């Protein structure tokens, strides 16, 4: 087969597979209308995909005059992806299929020892979440891991991750690949979250988008023109290091970040203790504010003011069409409405601020998106440029979580 014929064949295969992924169950005649390919070509490709276990007959068309036609759909669990969201306090591991259904999910507290212990925790959880839900781990073709820091593509280390000890001393990607026996892609967790929100969440269809996560830390995932912005050192969006909040010249600000020191979990708790003389966790502080506690109200007001300044900074640099707030603290309505009000006071143009529709699943959805894109490229494109399968649109995806 000539190169031209091989490329044409690969493009046709991807076009047929994409149409079935997006519109199945669908007949061959309908695939022909969608792709412009001949019925003979579609029949040959459908047979190839069916023999490979990627699609299956699902029935016949009905309600039409004349002969019925066989319809096809993808086999969702023909291949799976391990999607992991590593946080400073919790690890979430999930298995997603080709339809982006989360078949199983497991959540644990992050191993406080950090380093190699966290890497081993991730590999164990990936295998356990499959085993406990009777999913053949051989079907898991790759893993996508979100981390709360900056993955260094040269060394595999995760930098600027102060909430997980010693993770900056390891080649995390290489260790995970060795222990899982699969290709592994390591990405910043908030970058994955913005990809998830852009695909099927609050930011769907908004190509200039920013997602701000506030919880154990603070960070942003930023998209410009539909592309993720990583920066030369892959550290774009590290909002915690914006030079306000705490003194940016203090050594602690070099380690954690001036803004993160005052807006994230530990900063909020410390500020409340300073004002009230009492120790309290963050949910308790929000509860106290609802009951009229002046110290708690002051802490939330101050936090909202800092977040609004971060929102304005992003808007001044990238001009997003929408900002999505998320994270265990950032998505709380008490904070969101304050940020909306304050943002209009420190930026001259209207800012569209929404709340994450995916919640704790945002990074998992983004990991599934990255995983599906890589999986499609590996399985079907054959390395041919332009032969790729687009992710299904939001109205087709039925993304759902399943707690193990």
- Asked if the peptide bond before residue 238 counts as cis, ω within 30 degrees of 0, the response is no
Short-list 266, 263, 264, 261, CA closest to 247:
261
Q: Residue 171, Cα to own-chain centre: how many angstroms?
A: 22
- The residue ranking higher by pLDDT, 232 or 403, is 232
**pLDDT score for 387:** 75
| Mean pLDDT of all residues in 227-243 | 93
Give tens-digit pLDDT for 41-87.
999 999 999 999 999 998 776 655 556 788 999 998 999 999 999 99
What stretch of H or E contains 158? strand 158-159
Give tens-digit pLDDT for 245-294.
999 999 999 999 999 999 999 999 999 999 999 999 999 999 999 999 99
39-51 helix and 3-23 helix, angle to the nearest 10 degrees: 80
Token pair recorded at residue 152: 């260094």
Give tens-digit pLDDT for 140-199.
999 999 999 999 989 999 999 988 999 999 999 999 999 999 999 999 999 999 999 999
DSSP 3-state of 2? coil
**pLDDT score for 230:** 93
Confidence of residue 395 (pLDDT cuts 50, 70, 90): confident
DSSP state of 262: H
DSSP 3-state of 160? coil
Short-list 362, 318, 370, CA closest to 204:
362
User: Cβ(346)–Cβ(213) under 8 Å?
Assistant: no
Q: Torsion-angle region of residue 277: left (phi > 0), alpha (psi -120 to 50) or beta?
A: left
User: Cβ(87)–Cβ(216) under 8 Å?
Assistant: yes
Q: CA 338, CA 118: separation in Å to the nearest integer?
A: 36
Token pair recorded at residue 380: 């079907």
Give tens-digit pLDDT for 83-114.
999 999 999 999 999 888 888 899 999 999 99
**pLDDT score for 233:** 85
**Range with lowest mean pLDDT among 254-258, 313-317, 353-357, 381-385:** 381-385
385 has a pLDDT exceeding 90: no
User: Cβ(92)–Cβ(360) under 8 Å?
Assistant: yes
Token pair recorded at residue 295: 């110290």
Express as a percent the part of the chain with pLDDT over 70. 97
Q: 343-350 — which CB contacts under 8 Å span 24+ positions? A: 343/308, 343/311, 343/312, 345/308, 346/308, 346/309, 346/312, 347/311, 347/312, 347/315, 347/316, 349/315
Model confidence pTM above 0.85: yes
Confidence of residue 1 (pLDDT cuts 50, 70, 90): low
**pLDDT score for 278:** 96
Token pair recorded at residue 187: 């990405």
**pLDDT score for 403:** 46
404 has a pLDDT exceeding 70: no
CA distances from 115 to 62, 131, 185, 260, 305 (A): 58, 25, 18, 22, 35
Q: 302-320: string of b/e by CB count within 10 Å (b at 16+)?
A: bbbbbbbbbbbbbbeebeb
Q: CA 55, CA 19: separation in Å to the nearest integer?
A: 12
């Amino acid at each position: 087969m000539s190169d031209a014929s091989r490329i044409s064949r690969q493009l046709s295969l991807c076009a047929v597979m994409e149409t079935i992924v997006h519109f199945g169950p669908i007949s061959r005649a309908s695939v022909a209308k969608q792709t412009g390919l001949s019925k003979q070509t579609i029949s040959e490709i459908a047979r190839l995909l069916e023999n490979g276990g990627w699609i299956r007959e699902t029935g016949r068309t009905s309600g039409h005059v004349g002969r019925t036609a066989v319809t096809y759909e993808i086999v969702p669990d023909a291949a799976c992806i391990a999607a992991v969201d590593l946080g400073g306090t919790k690890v979430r591991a999930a298995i997603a299929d080709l339809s982006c259904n989360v078949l199983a999910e497991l959540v644990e507290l992050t191993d406080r020892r950090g380093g190699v212990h966290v890497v081993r925790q991730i590999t164990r959880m990936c295998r356990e979440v499959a085993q406990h839900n009777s999913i053949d781990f051989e079907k898991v073709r790759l893993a996508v891991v979100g981390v709360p820091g900056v993955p260094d593509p040269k060394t595999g280390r995760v930098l600027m991750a102060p909430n997980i000890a010693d993770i900056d001393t390891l080649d995390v990607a290489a260790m995970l690949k060795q222990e899982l026996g699969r290709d592994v892609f390591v990405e910043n967790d908030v970058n994955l979250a913005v990809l998830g929100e852009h695909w099927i969440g609050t930011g769907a269809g908004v190509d200039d988008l920013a997602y701000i996560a506030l919880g154990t830390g603070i960070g942003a995932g930023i998209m410009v023109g539909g592309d993720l912005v990583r920066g030369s050192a892959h550290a774009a969006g590290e909002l915690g290091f914006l030079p306000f909040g705490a003194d940016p010249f203090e050594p602690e600000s070099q380690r954690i970040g001036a803004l993160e020191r005052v807006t994230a979990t530990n900063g909020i708790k410390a500020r409340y203790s300073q004002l009230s003389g009492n120790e309290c966790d963050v949910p308790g502080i929000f509860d106290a504010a609802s009951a009229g506690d002046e110290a708690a109200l002051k802490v939330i007001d101050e936090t909202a003011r800092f977040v609004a300044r971060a929102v304005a900074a992003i808007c001044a640099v990238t001009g997003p069409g929408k900002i999505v707030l998320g994270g265990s603290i950032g998505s709380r309505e008490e904070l969101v409405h304050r940020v909306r009000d304050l943002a209009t006071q420190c930026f001259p143009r209207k800012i569209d601020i929404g709340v994450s529709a995916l919640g704790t699943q945002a990074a998992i959805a983004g990991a599934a998106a990255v995983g599906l894109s890589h999986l499609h490229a590996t399985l079907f494109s054959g390395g041919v440029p332009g032969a790729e399968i687009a992710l299904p649109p939001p109205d087709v995806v039925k993304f759902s979580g399943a707690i193990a």
